Amino acid sequence: MKSVLITGAAGFLGSHLCDRFIHEGYRVVGMDNLITGDLKNIEHLFANEHFSFYNHDVSSFIHVPGKLDYILHFASPASPIDYLKIPIQTLKVSSLGTHNLLGLARAKNARILVASTSEVYGNPLEHPQTEEYWGNVNPVGPRGVYDEAKRFQEAMTMAYNRIHNLETRIVRIFNTYGPRMRLNDGRVLPAFIGQALRGEDLTIFGDGSQTRSFCFMDDLVEGIYRLLLSDYSLPMNIGNPDEISIKDFAEEIINLTGTSQKIVFKELPEGDPEKRRPDISKAKEILGWEPKIHRSEGLKITYDYFKQLSQEELHKNEHKNFDAYFR
């Protein structure tokens, strides 16, 4: 039986990856320090004899007994409000954490895939973004703690690949959505759906002309699975190239939820990228992958998930001390 360590296992993407690898017949070791993850995302796996879990911070030395064939490093805060709240942990998990996991991969002779991000492109001057674009990142802006940690992570991973011949994979993930996102993590999709469900106005930051390209998590997981099993060790974009402005996206959420609330405009947070869309030619050519789930379908599934959350979860305010961010 092949075994895989998944860090960030209790998070949005990590938990879906745990499900996928269990489904594929792997022994899955999940690891998470639960700083942004939630055990409820993997509760259903605890009864499975092929699943085990460590409550551990990967920024500290990692010990996992037994053999490991693969490591997937998905531990990291991934929403701008989280970077503001826990900037030092954000920096550590993708630098020290990545270093520890690369060391573990060497010790176990395992192949490692690290989760990078479209944020390595910063506020991009090239559009759409190909993997060859180097980015336009402000290291000392509010997003710098995430962007630079992920850029360091890529450099470190390539160094282990080149110096130690370690088998490495780097996925650059663009905006992804789906069930198990935190309703109050501050990201635009849960923010809008949460506002609609609570009967609040939808808050657009800036004038809403900034664009994003949203990928449904099933598509993303399929792309990651294929990348892991491929021979390709340079960074690869995985995302949905279907680009939409945040204003149009708000309209889609209004139509989806049937809310009678209006849109209100707030200040654009510093360093918020103006546009983002992946060039996925490489994924198409090398992995035979492209997204299959249209936004209308993915949004319905995601809305159904948020609708069944408890009132307590719906009204939880995670941002009490960060109201300035939402001016």
Q: Which residues bind ligand UDP (CB under 6 A)?
A: 79-80, 175, 186-188, 191, 203-205, 210, 212, 246, 269, 272
Q: Provide the 8-state DSSP code for 122.
A: B
**In this complex, which beta carbon is closest to ligand UDP, that of residue 79 or of residue 233?**
79
Name 237's bridge partners: 172
| φ, ψ dihedrals at 198, nearest 5° | -90, -5
Non-local (6+) Cβ contacts of 107 within 8 A are: none
Smallest gap from residue 217 Cβ to ligand UDP (A):
14
Smallest gap from residue 225 Cβ to ligand UDP (A):
24
Smallest gap from residue 177 Cβ to ligand UDP (A):
9
Q: Provide the 8-state DSSP code for 268.
A: P
Smallest gap from residue 167 Cβ to ligand UDP (A):
29
Using an 8 Å Cβ cutoff, are 76 and 64 in contact? no
**In this complex, which beta carbon is closest to ligand UDP, that of residue 82 or of residue 219?**
82
Cα→Cα distances 39→14, 63, 116, Å:
11, 21, 23
Non-local (6+) Cβ contacts of 117 within 8 A are: 78, 146, 147, 150, 172, 173, 174
Give me the catalytic one of 121, 146, 160, 325.
146
Considering just the CA atoms, what is the radius of gyration of the chain in Å?
Answer: 19
**In this complex, which beta carbon is closest to ligand UDP, that of residue 269 or of residue 298?**
269
By residue count, the chain amounts to 327
Could you tell me the two tokens for 180?
A: 């198990």
**In this complex, which beta carbon is closest to ligand UDP, that of residue 64 or of residue 193?**
193
Q: Is 146 a catalytic residue?
A: yes
Residue positions annotated with a catalytic role: 146
